[in-house]
Every structure is written in structure tokens, then in C-alpha cells.
Chain A
Amino acid sequence: DTEVTQTPKHLVMGMTNKKSLKCEQHMGHRAMYWYKQKAKKPPELMFVYSYEKLSINESVPSRFSPECPNSSLLNLHLHALQPEDSALYLCASSRPGTGAPNQPQHFGDGTRLSIL
């Protein structure tokens, strides 16, 4: 069982829809991440939150909007997505690495997103 929970597991949406992906962890981690993973490829980092503040945005299009309402929750709001955005979206969490050895990231099982 994973300690990072993502909902929904699957999502099909049209290009004009608005939806949100959710991620929750109760390990006391203060760094949370969104990754995008295409088939047969490694995960690609999208966003990093550290202490509930956005610290890294890997030049992600504005149709993806992250939100970290508290230390346990991470959302990814989706709007006007394109077919090429179909992928597995993974959430991860870790202890913040700044000033300490880089801590391992713990991943959820992801949301499989399909854009029609």
C-alpha cells in the first residue's frame, strides 16, 4: 500500500472541461511534487512545493495550475488540456532536502488522464 494517495485513479475529459487531480500524504513531509509520465518514459518533473510554497515550476503550460492548500494536500487543476497532455500524473512527497541530505521521494500510484 502506498502512503501517498491520489484520486481519481482514472480520468477522461474533453478539451474544454475543468477538472482537478488530488494528492494526499500523512507522513509529515513538507515537500510535494507533480510529475508527468508518458508511456515507456521516466517521470518528468512539473512542480515542486516546499513548505506549501511553489518552489519549482518546470516551464509547465498555464493550463496546469497547482495548489497546495495545506501540508498534507496537493492539487493539480486542469483546464483546456490538449490530447498530448494524456499521461500518467504522479504525485510524490519527501522531507525537504535543503540543508540536509536529499531525501527519497515517495510516490502515489498516479492518475491516468485521457484527453478526448
Chain B
Amino acid sequence: AQSVTQPDIHITVSEGASLELRCNYSYGATPYLFWYVQSPGQGLQLLLKYFSGDTLVQGIKGFEAEFKRSQSSFNLRKPSVHWSDAAEYFCAVGGDAGNMLTFGGGTRLMVKP
């Protein structure tokens, strides 16, 4: 069965600092990986996805993520965080069968002025 772990429940960074959110997955075959962001009172917005090819993927809002098969990781990064990035971030893995997504527990990002 597939699973996703986001080791950090909360992260606080200063505005302008760099950010890395960790995601580890467990999946037997080639995973399809996603990062979503959820602002308070809103739905989930897709930041980026990895299906195949280049292991460094670029997303919206200046985010990028790197797929590392050897480490079963798909960490999200941003070089300079803005106050508007404060939100909940979910990593998710999907498989070949149907459209099932498995979400990690989420990481709440707080941004200090």
C-alpha cells in the first residue's frame, strides 16, 4: 500500500528566508507525486507534480520540488518565502490504478515578519 509521511507538523521561517518541506513516500512502482497548498477556508491548490523525466520540477508561486528515488523523497523548496506563503502544505502520491491519492499529514507553515 502506498503511504506518505511529512515529518514536520509545523515549520516557522522568517520572511525572505529559504524553505524546505520534507515528504517521504512509500510506493512499489513509479510514483506520481504532488504538492498541494491550502490556505485557511479554502480548497487545495496544486503547486506542482512529478510524473517522470526531470527530477527537479518547477511549480507555481516560485516553488520547486526534487524527486529522489534513492531516498523516496519529494521535498518542496522555495528560495525566499513571502508572508502570503503561510498555509498548510500537503504532499500526495498517486498510483497507476484509478485515481486514488494518498495524502501526507500536512505541514503548517508560519512566516515571521
Chain A contact patch, size range: 20 to 34
Q: Which listed segment binds B: A62-70, A72-80, A91-99?
A: A91-99
Distance (whole angstroms) from the CB of B96 to the closest CB of chain A:
7
**CB-based nearest A residue for B36:** A107
Let me know if B104 and A102 touch, CB within 8 A.
Answer: no
Chain B residues lying within 8 Å of A43, measured Cβ to Cβ, are 44, 90, 103
CA distance A56 to B101 in the complex (A): 12
Interface size of B in residues (CB-CB distance below 8 Å): 26
Chain A residues at the B interface, C-beta cutoff of 8 Å: 2, 4, 6, 31, 33, 40-43, 45, 48, 50, 55-56, 90, 92, 94, 96-98, 101-110, 112
Chain B residues at the A interface, C-beta cutoff of 8 Å: 32, 34, 36, 41-46, 49, 51-52, 90, 94-101, 103-106, 108
Further pairs besides A40-B108, A90-B44, A92-B44: 4, Cβ < 8 Å: A2-B43, A43-B103, A107-B45, A112-B41
List, sorted by A's number, 25 A–B pairs whose CB atoms are closer than 8 Å: A2-B43, A4-B43, A6-B43, A40-B108, A41-B106, A42-B90, A42-B103, A42-B104, A43-B44, A43-B103, A45-B100, A45-B101, A90-B44, A97-B94, A97-B97, A97-B99, A101-B32, A102-B94, A103-B99, A104-B46, A104-B49, A105-B46, A105-B101, A109-B42, A110-B42
